[in-house]
Structure 1
Amino acid sequence: MMFTTAYTTFFCFVALLCAFAQLASAVPVQGKRDVFDPPILYPHAGTVWKKGQRHNVTWDISQAPKQITNRIGEIRLSQVNQSIFPVILATGFDILDSRIEVEVPWVQTGHEYTLVLFGDSGNSGPAFTIEGPSIFDDDV
């Protein structure tokens, strides 16, 4: 019986500590946050890419804060109005480089696409299209 009471007391104590830790983590951090979400400049609205070509994706870093939490970037391709970004075009670059060369992937045509730049934050660029032969064409 004493063994059960000791375990119960111990687990109640641990649960109480966890509750205090959770409350402490919910306290807002004072000071200015350094979230940086640079706008994508290229591709811009109306741009047409061809499958297999290489392009420089560019973004504006002129408003970058002095301190950035995460400078490691990633660019993903997504269809417009989709909540998942399945195609990674580039990863592991410094978002302060302001550009990265990517190869246009073989994706379905007839859709509008957008790029999402991840790093300190994630932001999507304007809609553009990708053209090229279908994987079902005879001459591919």
Structure 2
Amino acid sequence: MNLRIILATLCLSLCHLASTLPVEDNAKRDVFVPRILYPRAGVVWTVGHKHNITWDTSNAPVNISNGAMVILRKAERGLPLIMAKGFDLRKGRVEVKVPWVFPDSDYSIVLFGNSGNWSNNFTIQGTL
């Protein structure tokens, strides 16, 4: 099966799950698509090190999801890897530990909450 189809199906499934979550106190939840600030293009991570993934919360609506998730994605191959989940999107950051992966320069972060948005590609280095 084509990797793009698998990734598209995963994204649609996660969006569907997020849309079926109960809304507290019947409050309307606004769509929030924050710009990922870090990692950015040119950044190099090392396997085993910790990093703070950060995003812009300056235009965050009052009612947003707390069911957030960060996924590490490798362009064109490999399945996505969940790095963090269940954190508050309003905080604008989440700390992650870089997993053991094959060194390459085409990794990106996908931030899910009310919507999914992607970082620029960055590099993960390490020893094999």
For residue 71 of structure 1, report the CA deviation from its aligned partner: 2.5
CA gap 1:33/1:54 in 2 versus in 1, 3 angstroms: closer
Higher deviation after alignment, 95-104 or 32-41: 32-41
Of 45, 49, 57, the residue aligned with 1:49 is 45
Sort the Cα spacing of 1:81 and 1:38 in 2 relative to 1 into closer, same or farther, 3 A.
farther
5+ residue gaps, structure 2, are 1-27
Q: Which has the higher contact order (CA 8 A, sep 6+)?
A: 2
Among 47, 58, 66, the alignment partner of 1:71 is 66
Task: In structure 2, give the amino acid aligned to 1:60.
Answer: D
Give me the TM-score of the superposition, normalised by structure 1: 0.66
1:63 deviation in Å? 1.0
Relative to 1, partners in 2 of residues 1:95 and 1:33: Cα closer, same or farther, differing over 3 Å? closer
Aligned to 1:100: 94
TM-score (norm. length: structure 2): 0.72
Deviations 1:38-92 (A, max 9, x none): 1110011100000000001100010112222x2321000001245x752111011
> Which secondary structure state, in structure 2, belongs to the residue aligned with residue 72 of structure 1?
coil
Aligned residue pair count: 101
Match of 1:86 in 2: 80
Q: CA deviation at 1:37?
A: 1.0
